[in-house]
Structure 1
Amino acid sequence: MNEEKQGPTPTSADATHDHDHNHDHNHDHDHNLQPPSKSAFHELGPLDRLLALWILLAMIAGIVIGNFATGAERVLQRGRFIGVSIPIAVGLLVMMFPILCNVRFESLHLVLRQKRLWRQLGFSLVINWLIAPFFMLALASAFLPDQPGLRKGLVLVGLGRCIAMVLIWNELAGGDGEYCAVLVAVNSLLQLLLFAPMAIFLIGVVRHDDDGVRLLTYSVVASSVGVFLGIPLAAAVATRLGLRRLAGETWFDDVFMRWLSPLSLIGLLYTVVVLFAAQGRHVVHQIVSVVRVAAPLVVYFMAIFFGTLWATRRLGFGYRLGCVQSFTAASNNFELAIAVAVATFGPDGDEALASSVGPLIEVPVLLTLVYLVRGVGRRWDWREG
């Protein structure tokens, strides 16, 4: 695989040998490839198509339960697992596992041998782990100078590099599926190593937030990342490699994943309901805070996306690689941000509130960007290099 290779975007379920078999045929169309024109909205599944609506309804349901169900907050806080209540911990683990099962771990060793991949990885690392987190910190400081809790929640969102919906956005926009799978896998591993020290550095060192340093210890953050990313990641690797070998690739892709995939959305919605039920009264009195969190998030998604898209264009990347890099940079792992915020600061803290608003804003904004990047690609006549 290299930057010149193009063709129909493979999904995360495609077998590696299918890509090799079709390479020569796809090469004939390299210079004619155009951004797809079919509606991105209608290409989403029935559940993902209305994800923003489901999240909004889940938030409303949680607020209603928290305000009107007697004793709901006390019940939802029973039992602790790595600092998180058992009901919330279950939801966090369930929503991460199906997403990670879609990553093609079995082909990574082949892809990583390609020299051109390392240029893409280097570019991605700079954007995802240097520029994006510091940009989110700057926005949080500018928009929320008087709200340290909300600010810390946004910093956690900025550190969570997307390993989930980016696969969907990239496919809808016509990006390179294999490069996207590699970046997702690399970011999954890097989050285990970098999330905790960078969170402490940005909140404690850069912001000089003494309260944040006191609560946001390395052991707490590393434990949260290790459990809520490490456990589902290890389970996903074992499940994908094991079942594909025992039951076959076709059964795994067409049967098992079709059954498993909806559990991610169910886990996300369940987690949002429980989170907002646990802090229902708090949210009602913090509507202004929710709106204030939304503003820097919108600016972040738009600026990072189009800044990365412009940079890839100037560097001579093709349309498909530009899509991969831009959506990877602009998307965030809000599931992990929620997990760390809840484990570190508690479910009723402003940090958990800020991280929970993330998916409500990200989904409609990123879907809009799918439409925009298609239009930009056609307007620029952006073909493959």
Structure 2
Amino acid sequence: MSDTAPPAPMGRFERLLTLWVALAMIAGLALGVLAPGLVQAIAAAEVASINLVVAVLIWAMVYPMMVSVDFGAVAGVAKQPRGLLVTLAVNWLVKPFTMALLAVLFFDHVFAPWIDPADAAQYTAGLILLGAAPCTAMVFVWSQLTRGDATYTLVQVSVNDLIMVVAFAPIVALLLGVTDIVVPWNTLVLATLLYVVLPLVAGLITRRILGSAEAIERFTTRIKPVSMIGLVATVAILFGLQGEVILNRPLVIALIAVPILIQSYGIFALAYGSAWALKVPHKIAAPCAMIGTSNFFELAVAVAISLFGLNSGAALATVVGVLVEVPVMLSLVAFANRTRSRFPEGAA
């Protein structure tokens, strides 16, 4: 597989991205309190459990990465399968089961004195749904921030999506003990269309128009800030949509976040460490670890609502996963960038 061109130095906006995200969280909470009508209007723009305003912003984040995808290099993935194997093993043989274990440990035992057993069962169910749904969209952003191989990342996400179609429902049914799991195919299809297919087609058309590798590199450098602005705006909207829940139930939010944090950092350590041990190049290792750490929250939220109801503890737990994800992933992006020199940069 051909190496990606050396990225341009990070601008001031990108270097201070963690600060902008923190400010976006505060702004989102303020928006939810001061402009509830606007937040309700944004919340109403939803199809198949996917908020269309957020979808547009995620599309803006994903598109710059898709412009970097070189279809001529896709065949090269087969020549270096280790990164893909790490991703698949962690996502489907480890992650759902460790999330279930952590959920039971904390809500049936550690937090039992403070949480009603019925609520604890709901939170456990929501966390299981999160653990069984690896990321589809945001991983392209994390890959871009770690200078990941755009083509390899696309293949990793696509293979995970194909497996999710057949494995998500059986895994959830096994862990929840519920046999009548109905997979929201409209959510799966729409998310794949909005977050993968459309930006991929737009990226392909853009590459054809630009022509040379130099022109493509200049273009992606110019539009990269748009991706970061989209991330910050998405965070503000997500926190605005959930502002009332965060402010009214801070203790519950904090308790649910504990196993999610342990799971996130643990899964990243396992995937990233395995990739390092297998001498996977950093541009593949970082995204492969990010895919398992991040979650397909639209799918998890949709299934939680369909199984347990809109105001259920399960739905709340999946929403907490959304709120925790961005700060956690930014910290892991920073760690991955700091440890780049410990990985090989060439072909696997």
Shorter-chain TM-score range? 0.7 to 0.9
Cα RMSD over matched residues?
3.8
Q: Partner of 1:97 in structure 2?
A: 63
Q: Partner of 2:114 in structure 1?
A: none
- Other structure's SS at 1:77 match: helix
Matches of residues 155-174 of structure 1 in structure 2 within 5 Å? Answer: 155-156=129-130, 159-161=133-135, 162-169=139-146, 171=147
Tell me by how many angstroms 1:361 deviates. 1.6
8 Å CA contact 1:58–1:273 kept in 2: the answer is: yes
Indicate whether 1:268 and 2:261 are aligned: no
Indicate whether 1:47 and 2:13 are aligned: yes
**Deviation readout 1:26-60 (Å, 9 max, x if unpaired):** xxxxxxxxxxxxxxxx9644333233332222222
Q: Partner of 2:112 in structure 1?
A: none
**Deviation readout 1:337-384 (Å, 9 max, x if unpaired):** 23334545569741223223211122113413543575xx49xx9x99
Q: Partner of 1:200 in structure 2?
A: 169
| CA distance in 2: counterparts of 1:245 and 1:191, whole angstroms | 27
8 Å CA contact 1:301–1:330 kept in 2: the answer is: no
1:128 paired residue among 78, 91, 109:
91
Q: Partner of 2:297 in structure 1?
A: 338
Q: Partner of 2:331 in structure 1?
A: 364
Q: How many residues in Structure 1 have an aligned counterpart in Structure 2?
A: 326
1:229 paired residue among 174, 192, 195:
192
| CA distance in 2: counterparts of 1:252 and 1:149, whole angstroms | 49
TM-score normalised by length of structure 2? 0.75
8 Å CA contact 1:154–1:355 kept in 2: the answer is: no
Tell me by how many angstroms 1:307 deviates. 3.2
Higher mean C-alpha deviation, range 322-331 or range 117-126:
322-331
Q: Partner of 1:241 in structure 2?
A: 204
1:84 paired residue among 50, 60, 68:
50
2:284 paired residue among 324, 333, 339:
324
Q: Partner of 2:116 in structure 1?
A: none
TM-score normalised by length of structure 1? 0.69
Q: Which has the higher Rg, Structure 1 or Structure 2?
A: 1
CA gap 1:157/1:259 in 2 versus in 1, 3 angstroms: farther
Q: What amino acid maps onto 2:319 in structure 1? A: A
CA gap 1:256/1:140 in 2 versus in 1, 3 angstroms: farther
CA gap 1:208/1:357 in 2 versus in 1, 3 angstroms: same
8 Å CA contact 2:43–2:241 kept in 1: the answer is: yes
Q: Partner of 1:106 in structure 2?
A: 72
| CA distance in 2: counterparts of 1:100 and 1:144, whole angstroms | 40
8 Å CA contact 2:301–2:319 kept in 1: the answer is: yes
**Deviation readout 1:277-324 (Å, 9 max, x if unpaired):** 22221111232233334433443343334434554565xx33x53773
CA gap 1:123/1:76 in 2 versus in 1, 3 angstroms: closer
Q: What amino acid maps onto 1:49 in structure 2? A: R
8 Å CA contact 2:58–2:195 kept in 1: the answer is: no
- Other structure's SS at 2:44 match: coil
Tell me by how many angstroms 1:134 deviates. 2.8
- Other structure's SS at 2:140 match: coil
Identity %: 20
Q: Runs of at least 4 residues of structure 1 off by over 6 A? A: none
CA gap 1:229/1:143 in 2 versus in 1, 3 angstroms: farther
CA gap 1:130/1:166 in 2 versus in 1, 3 angstroms: farther
Q: Partner of 2:153 in structure 1?
A: 184
- Other structure's SS at 1:324 match: helix
Q: What amino acid maps onto 2:250 in structure 1? A: I
8 Å CA contact 2:67–2:203 kept in 1: the answer is: yes
- Other structure's SS at 1:11 match: coil
8 Å CA contact 1:160–1:333 kept in 2: the answer is: yes
Q: What amino acid maps onto 1:195 in structure 2? A: M
| CA distance in 2: counterparts of 1:265 and 1:147, whole angstroms | 37
**Deviation readout 1:98-131 (Å, 9 max, x if unpaired):** 333333333213x1463xx235533442233322
| CA distance in 2: counterparts of 1:157 and 1:234, whole angstroms | 24
Tell me by how many angstroms 1:76 deviates. 2.3
| CA distance in 1: counterparts of 2:253 and 2:286, whole angstroms | 26
| CA distance in 1: counterparts of 2:159 and 2:171, whole angstroms | 17
CA gap 1:182/1:61 in 2 versus in 1, 3 angstroms: same
Q: What amino acid maps onto 2:4 in structure 1? A: T
Q: What amino acid maps onto 1:94 in structure 2? A: A
Q: Partner of 1:138 in structure 2?
A: 101
| CA distance in 2: counterparts of 1:73 and 1:236, whole angstroms | 26
Q: What amino acid maps onto 1:61 in structure 2? A: A
Q: What amino acid maps onto 1:53 in structure 2? A: L
8 Å CA contact 1:153–1:352 kept in 2: the answer is: no
8 Å CA contact 1:124–1:329 kept in 2: the answer is: yes
| CA distance in 1: counterparts of 2:131 and 2:227, whole angstroms | 19
Q: What amino acid maps onto 2:296 in structure 1? A: A
1:58 paired residue among 24, 27, 32:
24
